[in-house]
Amino acid sequence: MSMKNIIIYTDLDGTLLEHKTYSFDDASEALRLVRMKKIPLIIVSSKTRAEIEYYRKKLQNNDPFVSENGGGIFIPSDYHLDIPLPEGAEKINGYYLIKIGTEYSKLREILKKLQRDGFNVKGFGDMTEEELARLTSLPPHEASLCKKRDFDEPFVFYGSEEELNALIELVKEHGYNYTAGVYHHITGNNDKGKAVEILTTLYKSLFKNILTVGLGDSLNDLEMLKKVDIPVVIKKPDGSYDNELLKIEGIIKTVEPGPKGWQQAIKKILNMV
């Protein structure tokens, strides 16, 4: 059998990063293996570009990444993807940026409209760095990175399920998308799956034989996990799994939550292929 080129797409929060401490120590062994085998490890997160850059540095990662729920694909301009990029890719701060998402100011307008319509919502853009640090348990300097948003407005919502359904309807009526991870999110016509599809196509024109792996724990990972060959759902800290993700064909469930589960899954997959 010919060797397959493995590409790993991974969520951060609650997946590669521990839910409360934001540590990836429990996955260090598997991360070493991935680095040693030179497997592209592509972060696909709801986090901002600034936040992902912070973790890429810690992870010694130089691969492309996807910010804010598929809003933007960032390919380092010196990366070995020596192929024509999609039309409209722009060069920005040492990256080629492929924009899929809607600009942040428009998403903020929708959030303001929800507030005017009487929904009890508070966006990250309405919060100070201190409030955000308290809400997310992020250290203050990471909370400031979290506020540097381009394509996604996370928000907290207080109300019934009925009101939430009405809110989602309203967001969709205005031509925007709703998704949920740890928080609720308003996005443009983007999702993690679209970004993964674009990147996989780019890698396919570089390598012939590709095997894609995806790891995530929340609803906002659904489209990404549908687009990979080996989808992995990470167990949540309370022992549950996201029900929507369990419906994906061929889904692998981890026994452990967070980075422990991430490590087990990656080691098992790398042994299989």
Active site residues: 11
Judged by DSSP in three states, 215 sits in: strand
Nearest to 132 by CA among 12, 57, 141: 141
Distance CA 69, CA 180 (A): 10
Nearest to 49 by CA among 144, 145, 129: 145
C-alpha gyration radius of the chain: 18
Distance CA 100, CA 198 (A): 10
Distance CA 196, CA 176 (A): 20
**DSSP code, position 25:** G
Question: Which one-letter amino acid corresponds to residue 258?
Answer: G
Distance CA 145, CA 62 (A): 19
- DSSP-derived secondary structure for 54-121: HHHHHHT--S-EEETTTTEEEEETTSS--SPPPTT-EEETTEEEEE-S--HHHHHHHHHHHHHTT--E
Nearest to 46 by CA among 190, 197, 152: 152
CB hemisphere CA count around 100 (13 angstroms): 24
Residue 27 CA: distances (Å) to CA of 24, 157, 236, 262? 6, 32, 16, 7
